[in-house]
Every structure is written in structure tokens, then in C-alpha cells.
């Protein structure tokens, strides 16, 4: 993992392979962002003009390189676009996200270098954390299954030094450490998502989670794994039903963090379909190509709890990872089968490709038995979410408007794009079943909302709950941008950690 440190300079004397500064768009060219003055001075006041000559415009995520020609300890100056300037300050969640993306774009473009220094546009802890986090997330690659000469592949930047415009206080140092923990969690989630299903199946995921808990070495952080025998004995009909078509049986993983001073508790439930063929209701082949990412929710919730533990947040936080492989084997569930879920409710399976909600239902009921103050579930649940909100925006649904607003606020502050969606009462009747308590399918139109309504049926009365459908932003199958690579993104980890922080701070 990339290491992060914070220093105050002097900027011109920072020894690194490259020095990154921010640029704003200006009417007559580019304008240097705050913090770049010392670099400009060392270059004789020519930095903006040089970068403009090389094609820089200051547009968001644009990266322009220029040689330092011996005027700096670093041989290379890199200007990265921040877009149009605001009031002369980086304020608010949107401004911080601009900084994250810019730092990520710059460091991502510098893969192959060992050490990169990034000048923060302002010295405040929030900006330091945003810069450090964006840079660390931009320093990512996944080459675990490549063979041949490793020198042909550019390794991500190994060390990022954040250079502040003033002497970094305890706040800046703490911000750098928090960014390191968050980046480690997101990047570990990305690794899990990118791992092929031949190597990451339910048992392998559980083993990876156990290894991560052990590596964290935090007091109060524990793991419990229910295997298929325990699930069958416990009546987890959703997990057993979805998993029975595969030779690789399901698992339910519980990762719990308890703080001795905690007064609030949160439960995070994650969909962990390690590969989704659609089961008997088989997907088209092209729709399977990214289905190794169907466990992104489970990866997010487990890593969020580990991050909360490493940060020592004063909240009790539990992750429930509902793991199964959805295959069309000879023992697979069929359309019109009826499953008895954990807790006793029966479900008529009308489509075996609506399997995520089945495993999530078991985990939601189990999570509520521990009486958390709130539950958040995270799932790559529906293609309808992508149709409604695109590839970068997740949906938020909830049984509690105040809690939904708190989740949206946490997401905005964390830099993850989410949009509130309703749970219309008139759609509930479309999942009525003539032979069971409920069906796993309803109207196709509004399918994302129907899936949310299904999950709501398994949330205990009186428990605040939010459902995050992350089908679009969980996996980037297009060109990298900002700090987001191609492949698994680790989406929702930061929002969940922010919610845990809010709980610790008494804001939930």
C-alpha cells in the first residue's frame, strides 16, 4: 500500500521524483492554486506560463508535466487542474472532492515513480485529508494475476508526501493518518472486487476477511463465520437457497468492532454474491462479464468496520457479509420455488437472478436481532439503478427520512455521489405472492424501488434503515478518472466510515 506523510517543506527543497501543484482555469490561461507560490518563485515566476505553453488549461483532472531544470530538488513539476476557482477558497464538500479527484488524477498519471510530493492548496486538516486520500487512491493497480516481466508494468507510486503551506499541526498529521486508513480500506475492497471468481468464492472471501481482521490487530475487533452447515441448521433459507446450485457453499461473515466508550451502534449488511450467473434465470453472456463485482457490498461493509476499528472510533459497528455463488447447477433453485427465510418469512422465487435480495434478507433479520440503532445495507442490487442514475451515482432508500438525510450528508462529506429515491407504497402490492408471504419480483418498471421494498419487509419494526444500491458506481468498466481506476472502485467504504464517525460524535 502507498504510504502517506505530511510535511511543511520548504517546497523547493522537497526530494521526490515529482512535485505536484494545483492549477485553476482562468480567462487568460491558467492560475496557480494557493501553495504553488514557492515553486513558482524557484522557477523564476515562469511556472504558469510554462504550463500554459505546454497546453495546460486548468480543467478538472487535466495533468501537465514540465521539467524543473535543476531549480527544484524534484526533477519534474506536475500541474493538475482543479477547474474554475470559487471564492478563492476550497470550501464545502464539492470543493474537497475536486481536490481529491485532482490529486488522484495526478498521482495515477505518475505510476512508475517511487515518491511524489503533492502541495496542498490550503493547510487546513480537511484539505490535507482530501489531498492525501485522493493521492493515495490514485496510486492503485491490480496486477496479481499478471505474469512475465514486472518491469513492463508501471507500479503505482509507493510514497506520497503532502506538503502544506504552513507548519502542519496535530490536525494535519491526524488528517494524513485518517487518509491512510481510509485509502487502505478502499484499496483492499478494490482488490477483493477485482479478484476473479476462480479465486474468490464464499469460503475464500471469509478467509480473506479473517486475515484482514488479524492483520488489523485492533482490540475489540472480532470475526465469526457461519458455514453452510450452520446456515442450514439456523434456517438461513435465502443464503442456502441461492448457494445450493454451486459446489462452493455459502457463508455468513460477521465482523464486529466494539469500543468500550461507545453509546451508539450501527449494523452494515453487504451483498456478497461472489459470482452471479443469474442461476436458472440465466443472464446473457455479456451481462456476466463484470459479475465478479457482485460482492462489492460485502467488501465495502467488512472494510468499513476494519477502518472504523483502526481509527478507534467510539461506536459499535458490525458488518454482515452475506456470501453465495449463484450458479445454475442441478440443485439450483427454480422459478416458483418457495424459500423459508431466516426469521420464518416465506418467499416465492419468481426469478433466480433476483438473488441478492434473498441473501440480504437473511442478513438483515439477523443483524436486527442485535438491536443496532440503525442498519445500512449495501448492494449491487439492480440493473434498474444503473438505468435510473447512471454509472457514478448510487441510490439511497430508507424507512426513515431523517436517517436517509443523515446518510446522504455522510456520503456528500465522504465524496461519494448518492441520490435519494422513494419507496412508493403502491409498488408494494406487486410483490404479493399467492403461495408465499412475498415474492422476490414485482413490476419491472421501478425495479430498483421494488427491490428496496422487498428488503424493507425484512427490517425489524422501529429500526432506522437505509438501502444503498451501488450497482453503477461499484465497478468502473470504462476509462479511469480522478482517483477512480478501471475495475472495482471500493464505493461506499468512505460513506460507511463517515457514518460510524458521526455515530461516535453523537450526530446519529
C-alpha cell at 496: 460507511
Higher pLDDT, 90 or 494: 494
| Among 387, 366, 380, residue whose Cα is nearest residue 470 | 380
In this predicted structure, what is the pLDDT of residue 151? 63
- Set 357, 366, 413, 494: catalytic member: 357
283 counts as catalytic: yes
Average pLDDT over residues 109-129: 91
Average pLDDT taken over every residue of the chain: 95
- Give the pLDDT confidence of 287-341 residue by residue, as tens digits: 999 999 999 999 999 999 999 999 999 999 999 999 999 999 999 999 999 999 9
Q: Is 319 helix (H, G, I), strand (E, B) or coil?
A: strand
Query: Is the pTM of the predicted complex or chain greater than 0.85?
Result: yes
200-409+464-481 has CATH 3.40.630.10 classification? yes
Write out pLDDT tens, residues 29-80: 899 998 898 899 999 999 999 999 999 999 999 999 999 999 999 999 999 9
Q: What is the mean pLDDT of residues 202-227?
A: 98
Cβ atoms 191, 199 nearer than 8 A: no
Question: At residue 94, does pLDDT exceed 80?
Answer: no
Phi, psi at residue 376, to the nearest 5°? -125, 125
Residue 393: all three cell numbers together: 451515482
The count of C-alpha atoms lying within 13 angstroms of the C-alpha of 149, restricted to the half-sphere facing its C-beta, is 2
Return the C-alpha cell found at 24.
Answer: 485553476
Q: 153-164 pLDDT, tens per residue?
A: 789 999 999 998
Question: Active-site residue 248, yes or no?
Answer: no
Helix axes 447-456, 356-368, angle to 10 degrees: 30
Share of the chain above pLDDT 70, in %: 97
Domain 3-183: give its CATH code.
3.40.220.10
Selected catalytic residue, list 65, 232, 258, 283: 283
Q: Is the pLDDT of residue 406 over 90?
A: yes
CA-to-CA distance for 482 and 495, rounded, in angstroms? 18
DSSP 285: G
Residues 6+ away with beta carbon under 8 Å from 447: 382, 383, 384
Task: Enumerate the domain spans of the chain.
Answer: 3-183, 200-409+464-481
Predicted confidence (pLDDT) per residue in 338-385, tens digit: 999 999 999 999 999 999 999 999 999 999 999 999 999 999 999 999
Amino acid at each position: 500500500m502507498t504510504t502517506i506523510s505530511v510535511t511543511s517543506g520548504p517546497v523547493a527543497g522537497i526530494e521526490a521524483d515529482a512535485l505536484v501543484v494545483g492549477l485553476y482555469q482562468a480567462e487568460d490561461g491558467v492560475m496557480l492554486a494557493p501553495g504553488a507560490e514557492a515553486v513558482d518563485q524557484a522557477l523564476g515566476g515562469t511556472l504558469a506560463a510554462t504550463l500554459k505553453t505546454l497546453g495546460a488549461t486548468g480543467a478538472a483532472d487535466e495533468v501537465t508535466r514540465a521539467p524543473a531544470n535543476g531549480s527544484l530538488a524534484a526533477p519534474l513539476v506536475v500541474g493538475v487542474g482543479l477547474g474554475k476557482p470559487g471564492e478563492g477558497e476550497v470550501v464545502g464538500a464539492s470543493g474537497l472532492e475536486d481536490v481529491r479527484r485532482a490529486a488522484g488524477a495526478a498521482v495515477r498519471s505518475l505510476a512508475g515513480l517511487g515518491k511524489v510530493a503533492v502541495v496542498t492548496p490550503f493547510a487546513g486538516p480537511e484539505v490535507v485529508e482530501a489531498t492525501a486520500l485522493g493521492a493515495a487512491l490514485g496510486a492503485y493497480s491490480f496486477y496479481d494475476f499478471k505474469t512475465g516481466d514486472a518491469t513492463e508494468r508501471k507500479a503505482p507510486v509507493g510514497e506520497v508526501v503532502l506538503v502544506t503551506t504552513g507548519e502542519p499541526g496535530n490536525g494535519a498529521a491526524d488528517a494524513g493518518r485518517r487518509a491512510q486508513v481510509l485509502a487502505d480500506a478502499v484499496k483492499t475492497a478494490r482488490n477483493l472486487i477485482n479478484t476473479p471468481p476462480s479465486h474468490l468464492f464464499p469460503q475464500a472471501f471469509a478467509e480473506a476477511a479473517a486475515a484482514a481482521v488479524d492483520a488489523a490487530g485492533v482490540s475489540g475487533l472480532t470475526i465469526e463465520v457461519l458455514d453452510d452447515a450452520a446456515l442450514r441448521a439456523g434456517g438461513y433459507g435465502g443464503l442456502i437457497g441461492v448457494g445450493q446450485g454451486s459446489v462452493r457453499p455459502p457463508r455468513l461473515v460477521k465482523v464486529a468492532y466494539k469500543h468500550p466508550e461507545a453509546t451508539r451502534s450501527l449494523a452494515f449488511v453487504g451483498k456478497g454474491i461472489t459470482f452471479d450467473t443469474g442461476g436458472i434465470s440465466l443472464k446473457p453472456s455479456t451481462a456476466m462479464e463484470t459479475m465478479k463485482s457482485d460482492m462489492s457490498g460485502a467488501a465495502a461493509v467488512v472494510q468499513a468496520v476494519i477502518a472504523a476499528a483502526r481509527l478507534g472510533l467510539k461506536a459499535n459497528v458490525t458488518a454482515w457479509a452475506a456470501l453465495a455463488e449463484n450458479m445454475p447447477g442441478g440443485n439450483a433453485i427454480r422459478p416458483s420455488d418457495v424459500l423459508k427465510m431466516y426469521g420464518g418469512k416465506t418467499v416465492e422465487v419468481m426469478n433466480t437472478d433476483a438473488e441478492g435480495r434473498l441473501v440480504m434478507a437473511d442478513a438483515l433479520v439477523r443483524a436486527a436481532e442485535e438491536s443496532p440503532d440503525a442498519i445500512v445495507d449495501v448492494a449491487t442490487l439492480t440493473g434498474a439503478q444503473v438505468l435510473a442514475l447512471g454509472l457514478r451515482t448510487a441510490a439511497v432508500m430508507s424507512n426513515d427520512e431523517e436517517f436517509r438525510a443523515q446518510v446522504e450528508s455522510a456520503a456528500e462529506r465522504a465524496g461519494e455521489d448518492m441520490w435519494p429515491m422513494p419507496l412508493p407504497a403502491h409498488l408494494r402490492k406487486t410483490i404479493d405472492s399467492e403461495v408465499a408471504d412475498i415474492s422476490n419480483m414485482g413490476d419491472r418498471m421501478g425495479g430498483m424501488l421494488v427491490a428496496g421494498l422487498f428488503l424493507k419487509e425484512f427490517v425489524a419494526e422501529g429500526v432506522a434503515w437505509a438501502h444503498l444500491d451501488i450497482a453503477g458506481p461499484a465497478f468502473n468498466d470504462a476509462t479511469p478518472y480522478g482517483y477512480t481506476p478501471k475495475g472495482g472502485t471500493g464505493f461506499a467504504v468512505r460513506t460507511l466510515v463517515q457514518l460510524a464517525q458521526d455515530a461516535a460524535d453523537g450526530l446519529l
